[in-house]
């Protein structure tokens, strides 16, 4: 198992899916809530409550509270609740299957993951404070990590491992979609900006003085750090790699001047509504089509992800076909990827009857499958 676990693809979508946006973000998923909650859904012998969903969603929704009006925020909130409930149900199906197949992760691998997460905190005290804030013991957190790793291994074995991308398929995709691999012209651009203050005349005079210094051999980046009034002053005026259309119409003249330059040269003064600009480039690349060899890895990853998404949907649908899944809140009805086409035989049931209030003492959310199991 250790060898299998170490061979899992690091950059695979499996990680994002099975981690439900990452272990650190999942503390709300497992932490016990003190508030009264309702059961949102039943998945086999497990339940998902409003308390655990709200606890997970709260930090996500807080980001948007000040950016939208009430009607827009309410619509966004509903969409996010439906999307996350779907992920919660899918995770329950996967962890239950891991239980059924008695899939276990070696203790050493669980500890490695705990150590990796702990290393993201400034100190052990900070990590312990984090657990305390989330109302979790280290034992509870290890169970969370254990389930996360188990679902990764399960999906790898049942989905990712079975995907094979042939070189001929990559070749065919390249030939049929060659326009996708057009790499636009690029320059590595630096800029000095002098704003039109206190007057345009004074600003232009200062720009001419800087241009003279550059012609006499002054270092462009050093002058930018000292004299530029642009947003990249501290970086020596470095705008990084710039493609055609990067700046838009208002800075079109600046962009055109940059693309006309030879590497190692700077422009004359360019006037825009923002002020007076002088640009410099040190690298330039003409527009070209990537070769098949250059595009190979990206094509392979694209084809893999397409098949992975299809395979994962099929696998979740298979798990749901043998598990009773009931959605108990009518406003949470949604189009599940694993919902059977035949409604009469579908294991997904939308219950129009609201569920009475229950307390966390009555519902051991997320504990049934591991409470009696060993780590």
Q: Final residue of a domain: which of 286, 316, 342?
A: 286
The answer to the question of residue 294 being in a domain is: no
Q: Is beta strand 288-289 parallel, antiparallel or unpaired with respect to 348-350?
A: unpaired
The answer to the question of residue 151 being in a domain is: yes
The answer to the question of residue 374 being in a domain is: no
For residue 135, pLDDT over 90 is answered with no
Phi, psi of 338 (to 5 degrees): -100, 10
For residues 131 and 213, membership in a common domain is answered with: no
For residue 334, pLDDT over 70 is answered with no
Contact 186, 241 (CB under 8 A): yes
Q: Which ranges constitute the DSSP H helices of 248-332?
A: 252-260, 292-321
The answer to the question of residue 292 being in a domain is: no
pLDDT at 134: 79
Rounded to whole angstroms, what are the CA distances from 188 to 213, 242, 247?
22, 6, 14
DSSP H or E stretch at residue 77: helix 70-100
Contact 102, 150 (CB under 8 A): no
Under the banding of pLDDT at 50, 70 and 90, the label for residue 369 is: very low
For residues 209 and 113, membership in a common domain is answered with: no
Contact 18, 91 (CB under 8 A): yes
Contact 128, 118 (CB under 8 A): no
Based on the structure, what is the number of domains in the chain?
2
For residues 98 and 148, membership in a common domain is answered with: yes
Query: Would you state the structure tokens that stand for residue 124, as one six-digit string?
Result: 């052990």
The answer to the question of residue 146 being in a domain is: yes
For residues 32 and 152, membership in a common domain is answered with: yes
Residue that wins the pLDDT comparison between 23 and 288: 288
Phi, psi of 285 (to 5 degrees): -135, 130
For residue 27, pLDDT over 70 is answered with no
Average pLDDT, the chain: 80
Residues 24-36: what's their mean pLDDT? 46
Percentage helix, strand, coil for the chain under 3-state DSSP, each rounded to 5: 55, 15, 35
SS3 64: coil
For residues 213 and 161, membership in a common domain is answered with: no
Going by the DSSP 8-state scheme, the letter that residue 358 receives in this structure is B
DSSP H or E stretch at residue 201: helix 200-215
Q: Final residue of a domain: which of 230, 264, 286?
A: 286
For residue 132, pLDDT over 70 is answered with yes
The answer to the question of residue 330 being in a domain is: yes
Q: In what order do the strands lie in the sheet with 325-327?
A: 46-49, 39-43, 325-327, 348-350
For residue 41, pLDDT over 90 is answered with no
Residues 301-306: what's their mean pLDDT? 95
The answer to the question of residue 359 being in a domain is: no
Query: Would you state the structure tokens that stand for residue 220, as one six-digit string?
Result: 């462009």
The answer to the question of residue 10 being in a domain is: yes
Under the banding of pLDDT at 50, 70 and 90, the label for residue 19 is: very low
For residues 152 and 39, membership in a common domain is answered with: yes
pLDDT at 14: 37
Contact 12, 308 (CB under 8 A): yes
For residues 211 and 307, membership in a common domain is answered with: no
CATH, residue 108: 1.10.4030.10
Under the banding of pLDDT at 50, 70 and 90, the label for residue 8 is: very low
For residues 51 and 135, membership in a common domain is answered with: yes
Please return the burial class of 248, using the count of CB atoms within 10 Å of its CB with bins 0-12, 13-18 and 19+.
exposed
CATH, residue 241: 3.10.50.40
For residues 115 and 155, membership in a common domain is answered with: yes
For residues 8 and 141, membership in a common domain is answered with: yes
CA 44 – CA 366 distance, rounded (Å): 12
Question: Which residues make beta-bridge pairs with 66?
Answer: none
For residues 228 and 115, membership in a common domain is answered with: no
Q: Which domain holds residue 276?
A: 185-286
DSSP H or E stretch at residue 276: strand 275-285
For residues 340 and 217, membership in a common domain is answered with: no
């Amino acid at each position: 198992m250790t060898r299998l676990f170490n061979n899992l693809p690091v950059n695979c979508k499996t990680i994002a899916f099975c981690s439900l946006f990452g272990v650190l973000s999942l503390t709300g998923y497992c932490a016990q809530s003190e508030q009264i909650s309702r059961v949102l859904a039943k998945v086999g012998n497990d339940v998902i409550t409003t308390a655990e969903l709200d606890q997970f969603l709260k930090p996500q929704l807080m980001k948007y509270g000040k950016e939208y009006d009430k009607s827009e925020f309410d619509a966004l909130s509903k969409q996010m609740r439906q999307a996350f409930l779907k992920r919660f149900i899918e995770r329950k199906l996967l962890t239950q299957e891991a239980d059924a197949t008695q899939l276990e992760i070696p203790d050493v691998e669980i500890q490695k993951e705990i150590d990796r997460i702990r290393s993201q905190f400034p100190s052990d005290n900070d990590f312990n404070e984090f657990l305390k804030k989330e109302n979790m013991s280290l034992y509870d957190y290890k169970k969370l990590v254990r389930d996360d790793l188990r679902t990764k291994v399960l999906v790898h074995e049942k989905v990712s491992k079975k995907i094979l991308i042939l070189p001929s398929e990559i070749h065919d995709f390249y030939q049929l979609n060659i326009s996708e691999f057009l790499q636009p012209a690029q320059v590595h651009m630096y800029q000095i900006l002098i704003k039109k203050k206190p007057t345009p005349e004074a600003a232009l005079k200062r720009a001419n003085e800087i241009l003279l210094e550059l012609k006499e051999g002054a270092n462009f980046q050093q002058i930018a750090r000292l004299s530029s009034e642009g947003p990249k002053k501290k970086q020596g005026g470095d705008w990084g790699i710039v493609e055609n259309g990067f700046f838009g119409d208002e800075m079109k003249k600046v962009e055109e001047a940059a693309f006309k330059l030879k590497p190692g040269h700077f422009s004359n003064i360019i006037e825009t509504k923002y002020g007076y600009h002088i640009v410099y480039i040190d690298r330039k690349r003409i527009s070209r089509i990537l070769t098949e060899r250059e595009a190979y890895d990206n094509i392979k990853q694209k084809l893999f992800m397409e098949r992975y998404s299809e395979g994962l949907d099929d696998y979740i649908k298979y798990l749901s076909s043998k598990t009773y899944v009931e959605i108990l809140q009518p406003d949470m009805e949604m189009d599940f990827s694993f919902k059977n086409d035949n409604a009469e035989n579908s294991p997904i049931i939308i219950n129009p009857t609201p569920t009475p209030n229950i307390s966390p003492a009555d519902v051991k959310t997320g504990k049934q499958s591991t409470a009696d199991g060993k780590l």
